A and B are shown apart, each in its own frame.
Chain A
Amino acid sequence: MNNRILIGIGVLIVFISSFSWVQDWLGRKVDYNTEVKPILNKHCMSCHGGVKKAGDVSFLFEHEMLEPGKSGKIPVVRGHADESEMIRRILSNDPDEKMPKNGAPLNDNEISILKKWINEGAKWETHWSYKRIEKPQVPALGNFWNLYGLFDSENKNWVKNEIDYFVLQKLKEKKLDVSPEADKATLIRRVSLDITGLPPTQKEVSEFMQDESPDAYEKVVDRLLKSPAYGERWTSMWMDLARYADTKGYESDGGRMMWPYRDYVVKSFNEDKPFDRFTIEQLAGDLLEKDNEGFPKEQNLVATAFHRNTMTNNEGGTDDEEFRTAAQIDRVNTTWEVWQGTTFACIQCHSHPYDPIPHEDYYKYMAFFNNSRDEDVWDEWPKLRFYKGEDSARVERVKNWIRKYDPKQIAEKTEFMRVMEPKINAHNFIKGDQSTALLISYYGVKDKGNARISNVDLTGVGSIVMNMSTKAENAMLTFHLDKLDGPVISTIKVPARDTVLVAPVSSVSGKHDVYLSLKSPKSPEEWVRITWVSFQQALPGAEQPDYKQIVADYASVLTKSTESMPVIWEGKNDFARKTNVFVRGNWMVKGAEVKPDVPKLLAPMPKDYSRDRLGLAKWIVSRDNALTGRVIVNRFWEQLFGRGIVETVEDFGSQGSEPSHPELLDWLAVQFMEQDHWSVKKLLKRIVMSATYRQSSKSDKERIEKDPYNVWISRGPRVRLSAEQVRDQALACSGLISRKMYGPSVMPPQPDKIWQSPYSGESWVVSEGPDRYRRGIYTYWKRTAPYPSMTTFDAPSREFCQSRRILTNTPLQALVTLNDPVYLEAAEKLATTMKKQGKTPEQQLSEGYRMLTFQPIAPKNLNVLVKIYKEALGVYRNKPSEVDSILTYAKEKSPELAALTVSANVLLNLDNVITKE
């Protein structure tokens, strides 16, 4: 048959089926997800959903709507709207029966949709985002629109890659046009800010401007992706998700060493670590491959600090278990928000109100995390310890000794020297006489005092390792078996200093209660503080002459306060925890015990995956996980366009917003997972190479009217820079910036009295030298008092995971870029360069504009600048003392430089400077 005719018929079908009445006529069925579910969510679910199940009726799960309610009547009878109680109640005129009970009644259209749906069999469907991601056809490759010239030739030339076909299809539907490519200077500034967070250099811009080759832009993109600044820029996105901070949070909000984790993230992005690997390391790095000492790779352990960014509460009288639980809950919520784009927090107290996730699933999921050893103790154990110099030599001596005399012990002792686990934290002691809690988490005992340590497995145990400190002299601590006056298994003379000591213990087998008791007649009022205790095998080689020295080395290594950072460490055997459902979310009311599992809503965990965090992490990044690919791709898209394909990047559930380009989202996700093997660089390159991304961001009345928020992307993104970018750009364009990477966070100048935490001796000590001028991601982040200019530009305080920074536009932001000394220093430095670059004020001002925007200045705008320059010059010539006031750093103190500084202050505040165009 003639192909033309076939195509013609095809076009005809496509054409007529775009009319909905024709679709009805052709037998189109009601769609549950797009038509029915929104009606249920709007009118029914708040009483008949996951929170409440009024009259025993719910529409949360398929089976529920088919079961009789309290009245005995069935809400939905498939195929029979007339017999369905739901419809009867909606249509009822009896005020006692009519539904919804308190809300506005359903309109006729809604009623007819529900009726039709039931009559058609009430087909239940999974929400789109919970269905496996299948690769959609790219419109250009199998669609009549394109074949039959409905993409006009102009658009054909516009298209750069597959993304554009998807976008174009929507634009045609919405009767919108694409925008032309942005000019080269705008484009290189946009793509540089997007990929590296920094503006391009003058040299990079002029090279690009001069490069006439067809792949000039691609060369820029490739160079940017290789830049070390790339990792820093994407780390700044990840930090909000990881709720990274340099302090513990809560009242005292003291410092903690977390920066190695931040550096790990920078390095991971820079080496383009596949995102699935990146995920697994952060969620389960401690469970990944071990070295020959049975210990994980250091970097993998550093990665697990992702989930140690939870807060620790050091305030007096707080219950460690309560805040340990709070941290576990935060880990569950954060994991769901970051990778699954699903708000799981509500399931803590009851089943999900709108999406079919039962209450128990929350705690099954929490069971994966619940074995981590951290218990909200003051010192935040477990921490990865970094040994240096003599200490590191001692560690080696101990290890060599063990290798020689009992290699089987190497794993236990390496583990203990590196993370000091497993151990019993003293807050778990059952206090007896003369006992108290010290520093919240620790156990204090005085003369004649005692305590019980319950259910200790003593099989194979040969030594007690414990941390204690006191001012008491000659105090003696004894350990008794099973009873307060039971057989003594160990006697320890308490040293009068803070120390870890290793003491022998008599050989006993089986599980026992161990009682400790203190005699301190000389200093009966002095407390002995015990922070933890660990029952271990004795170091081997007791018969060797150097044994004492090795035991001393071991104790000394453990006593030393080394650099150390919180990490996740799995508790096994006696140190594993049971997980129970918390009844209505109350951690003190425990319900049924649960085993680790993933919610049934999503694809099940493959049988061969271990039921621990490692298995969970692998499940999250498995091809069958319906959410991860979509959610992650959407996050990166949002960072570039200022708006996700799913606008609610944090909520892909039925309460989130619908994707604007669902096929594009799925296509990108499948490409990302299958084609690119989770390479973020490839994903980003694909996006920034598209014509969609390269469009000019200029708008006009028609575009603003038809698409005010640029949902359909008929123009390029135009978005205010992020908090970090505003700062970094001012430093970069003025030449102040330090590109030093990594290391402890720094303290650039901030106003006095920002830090005023009670009970904390810590203070903001302004960094010297290059550390004053480092990129925003290296700024010290204190949760209760974050760097003020950052929060003014919408950075969160990082107490919890935050997916989106909702951009505001406030006068306080203007005050920062106008008056913050950081921006004045940048203005002065910029002015110094401007002065060198031009002879006349006109040249100098034009140059300043070009340094920030890479564009020639329009004559009209130049006039504005010249005017302010001349005004300022007049003032400074008349009052030379003012010159010294405004110029703080420059050697040259001229009225001209002062006037240029004022002009540069204007430039740094221009809309097109603090906006990515």
Chain B
Amino acid sequence: MEKLLKELQHADLHRQTRRHFLQSAGFGLGALGLGSLLGSCDSSGKKTIGEQTAQARIPQFAPKAKRVIYIHMAGAPSQLELFDYKPELEKYHGKDCPAEFLEGKKFAFIQGVPKMLGPQGKFAQYGQSGAWMSDYVPYLQTVADEITFMKAMHTDQFNHAPAQLLMHTGSARLGRPSLGAWAVYGLGSENQNLPGFIVLASGGRQPDAGKSVYGSGFLPSVYQGVQCRTGGDPVLYVTDPNGMNRNMRKQTIEAINEINRQTYEDVQDPEILTRISQYEMAFRMQMSVPEVMDVSREPQFIMDMYGVKPGEGTFAMNCLLARKLIENDVRFVQLFDWGWDGHGTSAGDNVEGGLRNKCRLSDKPIAALIQDLKMRGLLEETLIVWGAEFGRTPMQENRNGLVMPYMGRDHHLDAFTMWMTGGGVKKGFSHGQTDELGYYGVKDRVHVHDLQATILHLMGFDHEKFTYPFQGRNFRLTDTAGKVVKEVIA
């Protein structure tokens, strides 16, 4: 079985680079000219030659989510201020943390006996489903009935980088493929003009674990996430050099391909045909990437709905771009927003003002994204995942045993909240429960690997069978663990 799989992988790699050209070379060449390319340069790209950057494997069962938008709030916002309402914690506010919470525990910064910290938001129930949410997220309240909350998430890592890696690659160590890479490896790309896995980052910094959280690990590099940037070239080197206009670029690519075709005639290496088509794709990307990244043709009401102005490199802009990418059949859109690490050391990083401010910048566009996709009939087959690498402690952080200048919470791995909506998940549902102080999950806990198994399931893959052989082992996203959370599936 393994040997066979490995052979399949190899055959597949060859196919990617050589594809069906062997068969079609005889009659297909003429049609591959730039003329055909230019005739099909609408940014949807569906009409172009029938080949894909990444060929799809057949899903193991019918996918409910054909596309994914994964919103990661890097640094980890506090669930206790947003979704996990704990009135009891209010009563304990300012009191010493019970010893049972501290025994044998390790925290990133908390030392000695910290004080408990009551919730800072005002909570109420919203929608038909009666979902608990705080006044930090007034816009999300309006779409409460679209969402499934998982309130007893837990992880193994309490530092940002390893926890982010665990969340996105299934392992706390570097070197494994990310969820998006697995998705494109599994389902292929549906758009010939855009990469299948696109990453947008905001908040001024990359996620702590760097590119590895959207890397291809040991999968071939074609599956890695391509970061589209909001400043400079949206994709590296996608812009023509100064002094070379579009028409000239078209002619240079025509010239390159014409001479390459001649080389093919001489040496018959099918790799050359792939190269020709990739130069055509590059040319199309040069148009389609800036086009899809350009929001100037969006109507004003949409801009208002997301709360963006043209030219901004904000999280809100990335939400709008995510919708455009999904509309253009990009398989996996990963959003990172940096700056959610509310320790309480400064005016920016606390669970009171700082978190409120981050929510102010992200709440409206997230709600807009859900509504916008719904409006366009895309939400049904697009899965949106929101969350972070871990949660925050019910205790107030006391770094170095000191009283902190602001209200802050330390990293917490035993309980946090994530939510999903769209493609195949229940609407207006809450899964899992934490204890009365929000420290541990007491019912329906969901581990990171369970979440990953569930996302893969929604995309049509059995996480235990969706593997790739590397260093003598069949690796999978969920490592050796993970159970599909059936309860959240519609």
Question: Does B associate with A?
Answer: yes
Residues of A with Cβ closer than 8 Å to B? 38, 41-43, 46, 103, 249-251, 253, 311, 315-318, 326, 333, 337, 342-346, 352-354, 436, 527, 647, 650-651, 653, 655, 697-701, 703-704, 708-709, 718, 720, 751-753, 756-758, 783-785, 788, 791-792, 794, 797, 799-800, 806-816, 818-821, 824, 858, 860-861, 864-865, 867-868, 871-872, 875, 882-887, 898, 902, 905-906, 909-912, 915, 917
B259 interface residue, CB < 8 Å from A?
A: yes
Known: A784-B212, A808-B16, A864-B258. A815 touches B22 (CB 8 A): no
Taking a contact as CB atoms under 8 Å apart, the answer to whether B267 and A810 are in contact is: no
Contact of B278 among A345, A352, A810, A910 (CB under 8 A): A810
**Beta-carbon contact of B2 and A806 below 8 Å:** no
Chain A contacts of B239 at CB under 8 A?
A: 819
B99 close to chain A: CB less than 8 A: no
Interface residues on B, range: 35 or more
List of A residues within 8 angstroms of B235 by Cβ:
812, 815
Check B108 for interface membership: any CB of A closer than 8 A.
yes
Closest B residue by C-beta to A51 = B473
Instruction: Mark out the residues of chain B between 237 and 296 whose CB falls within 8 Å of any chain A CB in the assembled complex.
Output: 237-245, 248-249, 251-253, 255-256, 258-260, 262-264, 266-272, 274-275, 278-279, 281-282, 285-286
Given that A698-B268, A898-B243 are contacting pairs, would A436 and B400 also be in contact in the complex, using a CB cutoff of 8 Å? yes
User: Chain B's nearest CB lies how many Å from the CB of A866?
Assistant: 10
Closest Cβ of chain B to A882, distance in Å, is: 5
Give the residues in chain A near B98, CB-CB below 8 Å. Answer: none
Q: Are A315 and B245 in contact (CB under 8 A)?
A: no
**Could you tell me the distance in whole angstroms from the C-beta of B213 to the nearest C-beta in chain A?**
10
Q: Is B18 an interface residue (CB 8 A)?
A: yes
Hey, which chain A residues are within 8 Å of B266, CB to CB? 698
> In the assembled complex, which residues on chain A have CB atoms less than 8 Å from the CB atom of B205?
756, 758
State which residues 161-214 of B face A: CB under 8 Å: 161-162, 173-175, 195, 205-206, 208-212
CA distance A885 to B220 in the complex (A): 37
Q: Which 9 A-B pairs have the closest CB atoms?
A: A886-B243, A343-B472, A784-B210, A885-B243, A251-B161, A814-B282, A811-B282, A317-B108, A885-B242
Cβ-based interface call for B215 (8 A)? yes
Contact (Cβ within 8 A) A868 B252: yes
Chain B residues closer than 8 Å to A813, beta-carbon distance: 278
Where the two chains meet, the residues of B that have a C-beta atom closer than 8 Å to any C-beta of A are 1-4, 6, 10, 13-14, 16-18, 22, 53, 106-109, 111, 158-162, 173-175, 195, 205-206, 208-212, 215, 220-222, 226, 229, 231-233, 235-245, 248-249, 251-253, 255-256, 258-260, 262-264, 266-272, 274-275, 278-279, 281-282, 285-286, 338, 400-401, 411, 469, 471-473
Select which of A650, A697, A808, A882 is within 8 A of B471 by beta carbon: A650
Contacts of A753 in B (CB 8 A): 229, 231-232
Which residues of the other chain, A, contact B260 by a CB distance below 8 angstroms?
A: 910-911
A326 touches B173 (CB 8 A): yes
With contacts A655-B6, A797-B212, A902-B252 taken as known, whether A315 is within 8 angstroms of B242 at the C-beta atoms is: no
Given contacts A317-B108, A813-B278, contact A251 B173 (CB under 8 A): no
Q: List 6 A-B contacts (CB under 8 A).
A: A251-B209, A758-B160, A791-B221, A808-B221, A861-B262, A911-B272
Task: Contact check, B243 vs A883: say whether CB atoms are below 8 A apart.
Answer: yes
User: Contacts A655-B6, A698-B266, A708-B18 known; A315 to B215 CB distance under 8 Å?
Assistant: no
The residue on B at minimum CB distance from A888 is: B242
Best-buried of B251, B255, B270 by chain A (most CB within 10 Å): B255
Q: Is the CB of B231 within 8 A of A811?
A: no
Contact present for B472 and A704 (CB under 8 Å): no
User: Given the complex, which residues of A lie within 8 Å of B236, measured CB to CB?
Assistant: 751, 788, 792, 812, 815-816
Given contacts A41-B3, A818-B237, contact A697 B278 (CB under 8 A): no
Q: Are A868 and B255 in contact (CB under 8 A)?
A: yes
Q: Report the separation of the CA atoms of residues A756 and B336 in the bound assembly, to the nearest whole angstrom.
A: 13
A315 touches B17 (CB 8 A): no
Q: Which of A783, A785, A815, A858 contacts B237 (CB 8 A)?
A: A815
Q: From residue A880, how far is it (CB to closest CB) to chain B in Å?
A: 11
Contacting pair A886 B262 (CB below 8 A): no
In contact, B252 and A794 (Cβ under 8 angstroms): no
Say which residue of B17, B212, B226, B286 sits within 8 Å of A808 (CB atoms): B17
Chain A residues near B251: list those with CB within 8 A: 868, 871-872
Report A155 CB to chain B, min CB distance, Å.
Answer: 23
Chain A residues with CB under 8 A of B271: 718, 720, 809, 911, 915
Q: Min CB distance, B282 to chain A, in Å?
A: 4
Residues of A within 8 A of B270 (CB): 704, 708
Q: In the complex the two chains form, is B285's CB within 8 Å of A910's CB?
A: no
Q: Are B108 and A346 in contact (CB under 8 A)?
A: no
| Cross-chain contact B2 with A655 (CB below 8 angstroms) | yes
Q: Is there contact, CB below 8 Å, between B159 and A316? A: yes
- Contact (Cβ within 8 A) A315 B159: yes
Which residues of chain B are near A860, meaning CB under 8 Å? 262
Q: Which of B210, B229, B270 has the most CB of A within 10 A?
A: B210
By a CB distance below 8 angstroms, the chain A residues around B159 are: 251, 315-318
Please give the distance in Å from A437's CB to the nearest CB on chain B.
9
Enumerate chain A residues within 8 angstroms of B245, measured Cβ to Cβ.
875, 882
- Pick the most buried of B1, B3, B221, B263: most chain A CB atoms within 10 A of its CB: B221
Give the chain A neighbours of B279 by CB distance below 8 A.
811, 814, 909
CB nearest to B201 among chain A residues: A756
**A885–B264 alpha-carbon span in the complex (Å):** 34
When the two chains form their complex, are residues A910 and B282 in contact, meaning their CB atoms are under 8 A apart?
no
A906 near B256 with CB under 8 A, answer yes
Q: Which of these, B17, B175, B241, B411, contacts A821 with CB under 8 Å?
A: B241
A861 touches B259 (CB 8 A): yes
**Given A815-B286, A816-B236, 16 more pairs with CB closer than 8 A:** A250-B174, A318-B162, A343-B472, A345-B471, A353-B472, A708-B270, A709-B14, A753-B232, A784-B209, A794-B221, A811-B281, A818-B253, A865-B255, A875-B248, A910-B263, A911-B263
Contact check, A811 vs B285: say whether CB atoms are below 8 A apart: yes
Q: In the docked arrangement, what's the CA distance between A447 and B40, Å?
A: 75
Q: How far is the CA of A784 from the CA of B411 in the complex (A)?
A: 23
A886–B244 CB distance below 8 A: yes
B contact residues around A806 at 8 Å (CB) = 13, 220-221
Whether A910 contacts B3 by the Cβ 8 Å rule is no
Instruction: Enumerate chain B residues within 8 angstroms of A807, measured Cβ to Cβ.
Output: 17
**Chain A residues closer than 8 Å to B1, beta-carbon distance:** 42-43, 46, 103
Give chain A residues whose Cβ lies under 8 Å from the Cβ of B285. Answer: 811, 815
* CB-contact partner of B473 in A343, A709, A887, under 8 A: A343
> What is the CA–CA distance of A103 and B244 in the complex, to the nearest angstrom?
59
A42-B4, A812-B226 given; A858·B262 CB < 8 A = yes
Could you say which of B245, B259, B285 has the most chain A C-beta atoms within 10 Å of its C-beta?
A: B259
A42-B471 contact, Cβ under 8 Å, with A250-B161, A815-B237: no
Expressed in whole angstroms, the Cα–Cα distance for A345 and B245 within the complex equals 52
